[in-house]
Amino acid sequence: MASDSEALQGLYDKHCVQGFKYAYGTAGFRYNADVLDTVMFTTGVLAGLRSIYLGGKTVGVMITASHNPPQDNGVKIVDPRGEMLEKSWESYATELANSASQNFASFQNKLKELLEILKLDLMTPGCVAVARDSRDSGPRLLAAFKTGTEVLANLQVTDHGVLTTPQLHFLTCKTNDLGQGAVIAETLYFKEFLSAWDELTMLCNIQSLPYKIRIDAANGVGAPKVEEMLGARSFFDNTFTVVNGDWKNPPALNHLCGADFVKTNQRLPQGISGDAKQGPHINCSFDGDADRVVFYYVNSVGEFKLLDGDKIATLFAKFFQELLQTAGLRDELQLGTVQTAYANGSSTHYLEKMLGVPVTCTPTGVKHLHHEAVKFDIGIYFEANGHGTIVFSEKVTELVTQKFSDASESKDRHNALQLLLVFSKLINQTVGDAISDMLGVMAVLSILKWTPEQWDNEYTDLPNKLIKVLVPDRTVFKTVNAERQLVSPVGLQQSIDDLVDKFDNARSFVRASGTEDAVRVYAEAATRQKVEELVTMVGQLVEKS
């Protein structure tokens, strides 16, 4: 630790300002970039402490505000296996930030208290790997973060520069897997997923994609990364186009484009037209840090059709169910899906009733979904907004290897077993990843020889709408039952239920956002007109409460 109080104060004074109250939300700290310097400094300290606490394992830190507007930024800590920070440490992160936001003495006391509670041996070396997205506040906030890491004397900091969020998760995990001496760079990421793609296309004899893909990269960091990655394989020559790839122009980030814009507005982003002259193709949109992807197409009568996270989850569920059947592992490996309350009711019905695949519902935020998904052997989790992945248990590899060595198995069965393993490599299991998920979806569509329409026709979404309501204090909105019911403000849930009862096939719920200063209202109903009516009325109830 900075040897004396004076040195510590010197570091503190460089970046900390007083007065702002922070909270570690759905995806870390996320606010207007102007108020983030203090929390960046304390996150530098805390990430270091977390690494030391874990015996020197590398802890990741991502500076991003994902789908938020360009003036925002944020930071989140990634645990050594690439998962989100353990829950109990979220409060330490919040307390340390708020103490620094009071004054130097509070910060110093809180740090001392944390060292005592956590019984940290400061001689243990620690390692932190940091990356940022393309926002223009990134370099300034990175500097504040690095000053925070200087509070701990034995901390090694690796700055990976500009990466997508899933690249940082992946590299954090790899650093710990490969250990000292290994060269950890983004080429590892490209190599890993491209090798899996090569293996898959060879195994399934796929010479080219069935149609072209247009990628809306939200003018974010996903643009240069996907271009570099796919550009490295002749397989992808003339098959993909990146639109909204202006990542060096930060004000354009997420503006009229990107996964969140497309999902929320249920329309094409800027730069992608519904022009049928383009030949057979599919479109997809990444979000600003490329950990989400949604697909879409324009049908023969010119309608915009969204293939969101629910559609991705159901596609994978159907595919893996059939693959397990062919592999002869349907009874031995448990396939399951995890959704949040924002999943379209039709998708849940399709999974449970049509496919017979179990569905667990958790609160919003991939950390919650991931936690439940690992309870299955093949756990598919996607938020409706396209954020998600698939996790495979060790039992999958064990059983596949065991069965594979059985020469009496048929060729089809051998292929299915191999395909299971290849998919477990093609999918970035550490976290939702727009690039890896996109390749996963394209692989499934190529194998099934499905058009976007065929994928879409598996079930029809109920008309739905998500709106934001600004309230004086969103913290009064408290929920239970995986965020589907409000317990505060008292009486509001009853009024919502009474209203929903008046609509056919309807559902609506309200919760405070964990990333924006707003309350979200979601509604589904039998028709587009009815859903507009319902969401507006629930929104009015929220405003009045």
- The annotation status of 121 as a binding-site residue, yes or no, is no
**Binding residue for Mg ion, selected from 287, 383, 437, 516, defined by CB under 5 A:** 287
Nearest CB to Mg ion, comparing residues 291 and 433: 291
- The annotation status of 217 as a binding-site residue, yes or no, is no
Helix ranges (H only) for 256-308 are: 259-265
Q: Which helix (H) or strand (E) holds 20?
A: none
**Smallest distance from Mg ion to CB 288, Å:** 6
Number of residues that bind ligand GN1 (CB under 6 A): 15
The interface partner of residue 385, options being ligand GN1, Mg ion, none and the CB cut-off 5 to 8 Å by kind, is ligand GN1
Enumerate residues 31-90 that contact Mg ion by CB under 5 A: 66
- The annotation status of 532 as a binding-site residue, yes or no, is no
Nearest-angstrom CA–CA distance, 431 and 388:
7
Q: Which residue is nearest to ligand GN1 (CB)?
A: 514
Enumerate residues 289-348 that contact ligand GN1 by CB under 6 A: 342
Nearest-angstrom CA–CA distance, 499 and 486:
15
Task: Calculate the alpha carbon distances from 372 to 206, 346, 367, 481 in Å.
Answer: 34, 21, 9, 15
**Smallest distance from Mg ion to CB 79, Å:** 18
66 counts as catalytic: yes
Residue type present at position 412: D
- The annotation status of 512 as a binding-site residue, yes or no, is yes
CA 483 to chain centre: 19
Adjacent-strand bridge partners of 19: none
Tokens of 320: 């893996």
* Segment lying near ligand GN1 (by CB under 6 A), choices 134-142, 248-256, 370-378, 511-519: 511-519
Nearest-angstrom CA–CA distance, 459 and 346:
7
Nearest CB to ligand GN1, comparing residues 58 and 364: 364
Enumerate residues 13-52 that contact ligand GN1 by CB under 6 A: 26-27
Adjacent-strand bridge partners of 468: 520
- The annotation status of 303 as a binding-site residue, yes or no, is no
**Smallest distance from ligand GN1 to CB 401, Å:** 34
Report angle CA 306, 310, 313 to the nearest 5 degrees. Answer: 120
Nearest-angstrom CA–CA distance, 11 and 251:
31
Task: Calculate the alpha carbon distances from 392 to 376, 399, 423, 446, 541 in Å.
Answer: 8, 12, 9, 22, 43
Nearest CB to ligand GN1, comparing residues 65 and 230: 65
Nearest-angstrom CA–CA distance, 346 and 524:
10
CA proximity to 233, closest of 197, 274, 285, 268: 197
Q: Does 68 bind ligand GN1 (CB under 6 A)?
A: no
Quick check: 45 and 84 in contact, CB under 8 A?
no
Helix ranges (H only) for 204-308 are: 222-231, 259-265
Nearest CB to ligand GN1, comparing residues 125 and 514: 514
The interface partner of residue 489, options being Mg ion, ligand GN1, none and the CB cut-off 5 to 8 Å by kind, is none
Nearest-angstrom CA–CA distance, 389 and 410:
30
- The annotation status of 291 as a binding-site residue, yes or no, is yes
CA 371 to chain centre: 13
Nearest-angstrom CA–CA distance, 229 and 286:
15
Q: Which helix (H) or strand (E) holds 76?
A: strand 72-78
Quick check: 486 and 493 in contact, CB under 8 A?
yes
Q: Of residues 66, 134, 137, 545, which has the active-site annotation?
A: 66
**Which positions from 136 to 175 touch ligand GN1 by CB under 6 A, shown as an x/- string?**
----------------------------------------
**Binding residue for ligand GN1, selected from 365, 386, 452, 463, defined by CB under 6 A:** 365
**How does DSSP classify residue 25?**
B
**Smallest distance from Mg ion to CB 80, Å:** 21
CA proximity to 100, closest of 11, 7, 1: 11
**Binding residue for ligand GN1, selected from 136, 514, 532, 533, defined by CB under 6 A:** 514
**Smallest distance from ligand GN1 to CB 261, Å:** 12
The interface partner of residue 26, options being Mg ion, ligand GN1, none and the CB cut-off 5 to 8 Å by kind, is ligand GN1
Q: Does 516 bind ligand GN1 (CB under 6 A)?
A: yes
Q: Does 385 bind ligand GN1 (CB under 6 A)?
A: yes
Q: Does 260 bind Mg ion (CB under 5 A)?
A: no
Q: Which residues of the shown chain bind ligand GN1 in the complex (CB under 6 A)?
A: 26-27, 66, 342, 364-366, 383, 385, 387, 513-516, 520
Catalytic residues: 66
User: Which residues define the annotated binding site for Mg(2+)?
Assistant: 66, 287, 289, 291
User: Which residues define the annotated binding site for substrate?
Assistant: 383-385, 511-515, 520
User: Which residues define the annotated binding site?
Assistant: 66, 287, 289, 291, 383-385, 511-515, 520
Q: Which residues of the shown chain bind Mg ion in the complex (CB under 5 A)?
A: 66, 287, 289, 291
